[in-house]
Amino acid sequence: MTFPFGRSGARERTSGVAGERLPPGQYIPRGWPALHYGPVPTFKPDRWDFKVLGATAVGTERRWTWPEIGTLPRTEVAADLHCVTKFSVLDNTWRGIATRTLLELAPPAADVTHVLVWAEYGYSANLRLEDFASEQALFVTHRNGEELSPEHGFPLRLVVPHLYAWKGPKWARGFEYLTADRRGFWEERGYHNIADPWLEQRYSYQEEPGAGPDW
């Protein structure tokens, strides 16, 4: 998960193509800042699992152990990462499990509209089903050929490049199908329900009617 508060590191100048790729209000930092809420969890592969819960098509949950996750097909996506704290990390090659793969293996019921992604310590982030099903959305294990570090979400983090990065929790442990929208951790604390960086959808007070569930 990306911590939506605090300093984001030193800034670099942007121009040309790189500048055109930046959503409004964003800048390019030096390196890849590691921001998160709470401690970095300890990975225990013998106890770790990944679950699909909620309104599945078959009415029961689906579960994978860490070795079983290792057998799922991998894909690569080249995409930038935009944090709500206003830094953007460009030119990433992400490798992981496509959300569409999991949607096929554990499909939602016909009336599902949203997904709540769960992570360690009960952290959550909600997404519209169409955002979660984006062809660029991955549960990531590697960035630029290197395994994620614990600070950046090892063993698994969600990346949804067209949304602010808090919508892609670090240390993901599964997701829940919803038939009605429900705000996640930061959305309950004043962050925008949709989180489009190109529209600067940072805070809940910016929400148009119908953009999120009632408080």
Q: What is the mean pLDDT of residues 35-58?
A: 94
Share of the chain above pLDDT 90, in %: 85
CATH number assigned to the domain comprising residue 180: 3.90.420.10
CB neighbours of 74 closer than 8 A, spacing ≥ 6?
95, 96, 97, 141
Q: Look at residue 211 and tell me if it is in a domain.
A: no
Q: Look at residue 3 and tell me if it is in a domain.
A: no
Q: Minimum mean pLDDT among 1-15, 28-42, 195-209: which range?
A: 1-15
**pLDDT at residue 18 in the model:** 66
Q: Look at residue 61 and tell me if it is in a domain.
A: yes
CA angle 97, 78, 172 (to 5 degrees): 35
CB neighbours of 183 closer than 8 A, spacing ≥ 6?
126, 193, 212, 213
CB atoms under 10 Å from CB of 28, counted, come to 18
pLDDT tens-digit readout, 135-167: 999 999 999 999 999 999 999 999 999 999 999
**What is the number of structural domains in the chain?**
1
**pLDDT at residue 214 in the model:** 84
Would you say residue 37 has pLDDT above 90? no
Q: Look at residue 6 and tell me if it is in a domain.
A: no
Q: Look at residue 199 and tell me if it is in a domain.
A: yes
Q: What is the pTM of this model?
A: 0.90
Share of the chain above pLDDT 70, in %: 91
Q: What is the mean pLDDT of residues 186-193?
A: 97
The domain of 129 spans: 11-206
